[in-house]
Structure 1
Amino acid sequence: MQSWVFLAFFMIVVGLPVILGIGSCMFQRWLKHKERMAEALTAQTAEKAAQYAAHTERLEQRVRVLERIVTDKGIAISDEIDCLRELPAPFVRTN
């Protein structure tokens, strides 16, 4: 019985602190790894967001140019269409 008490005392006094110390060290390493992974993901997300913003800006510029072309030349094109409607149809021969 005395050896059982000594073994339980030894496990509580020596074993438990050793196990908790090793577990704490492993947990701290895991936390540092998770923090590095989060930082890398944040940097990657920020880079993609900047790329999407630049792409959106280019598309908006293209749409502005197209809108300008349509609105500026829209009146001239409609005038040309009206002029073509007023001209008599060309004579077409049928054989």
Structure 2
Amino acid sequence: MDWGGPGFIVLLVAISTIGWLVNNWIRAKHGYSLENEWGGMTEKPDTAKEERLAQQNKQLLETMEKMQDRMVVLERIVTDKGYSLSEEIEALRDAPVRETPVRGAGDNGVPLNLESKEKA
């Protein structure tokens, strides 16, 4: 055999290729990660993990839809014509003033001037 001829080079390439194929076949058969074109490792896909993620995604979507329904209800309550927070606050401000209690009957001794309103 001529060690410097083209046949020797073809034989080396063929042996290397067959060795690479056998190596990858054994690795794939036993569940090891395979080497990709750029020398990195490609992992075997985990179908159980994908199933868990799909289930979790489904639950999150259902929760989000429920929350959207609640938001619609809350928006309807807040924007309802009968619900006016500012009117209720003004009604409390305009409430009749009670007479001040007798000193020593549980008050803290600081008189409140409820008759003068805050200027806006």
TM-score by length of 1: 0.55
In structure 1, the partner of 2:26 is 26
Match of 2:10 in 1: none
| Amino acid in the other structure paired with 2:27 | F
SS in structure 1 at match of 2:62: helix
Distance 2:53 2:63 in 1: 15
Measured against aligned partners, the alpha-carbon deviations of 1:38-84 in whole angstroms (never above 9, x if no partner) come to: x2222222111111111112222222222222222532x43232223
Which sits farther off after the overlay, 19-28 or 77-86? 19-28
- Alignment-derived partner of residue 87 in structure 2: 79
Match of 1:93 among 88, 101, 118: 101
Query: Unpaired runs of 5+ in structure 2?
Result: 1-14, 33-42, 104-120
* Distance in 1, Cα, partners of 2:101 & 2:24: 98
Name the SS of the counterpart of 1:34 in structure 2. coil
1:68 aligns with 2:76: yes
- Partner residue in 1 for 2:51: 43
Deviations 1:9-42 (CA, angstroms, capped at 9, x unpaired): xxxxxxx7xx9486344223227x924x2x2222
Residues 1:86 and 1:23: Cα distance change in structure 2 (over 3 Å): same
- Percent sequence identity over aligned pairs: 28
Aligned AA (1:58):
K
State the number of aligned residues.
Answer: 77
Q: Counterparts of 1:48 and 1:59 in 2: how far apart (Å)?
A: 16
Between Structure 1 and Structure 2, which shows a larger proportion of helix residues? 1
TM-score scaled to structure 2, two decimals?
Answer: 0.46
**Which fold has the larger relative contact order, with Cα–Cα distance below 8 Å and residues 6 or more apart in sequence?**
2
Gaps of 5+ in 1: 1-15
Residue number among 37, 57, 71 corresponding to 2:65 in the alignment: 57
